[in-house]
Amino acid sequence: MSDISIFTDKSQVPDIKLVSVAIGDKIKLWEHLHSFILLQYPKAVGEWNYPG
């Protein structure tokens, strides 16, 4: 498994459109997971992180 992000521009945080393009039809699963996490941890703050 590669630890290289498909989002290589560290100056741009990927938005939902970019994520949607990247994961295709899995976007509904991503949105469901995101909603579930926020329900479980309402004070959570999302942060994009780059490997390496």
Identify the domain containing residue 45 by its residue range: 1-52
Q: How many domains does the chain have?
A: 1
Record the tokens describing residue 18, joined without a space: 């970019």
Question: What are the tens digits of pLDDT across the range 2-45?
Answer: 667 788 888 989 999 999 999 999 999 999 999 999 999 999 98
The pTM score is 0.72
Q: What are the tokens at 48?
A: 């994009």
Neighbours of 48 (CB within 10 A): 12
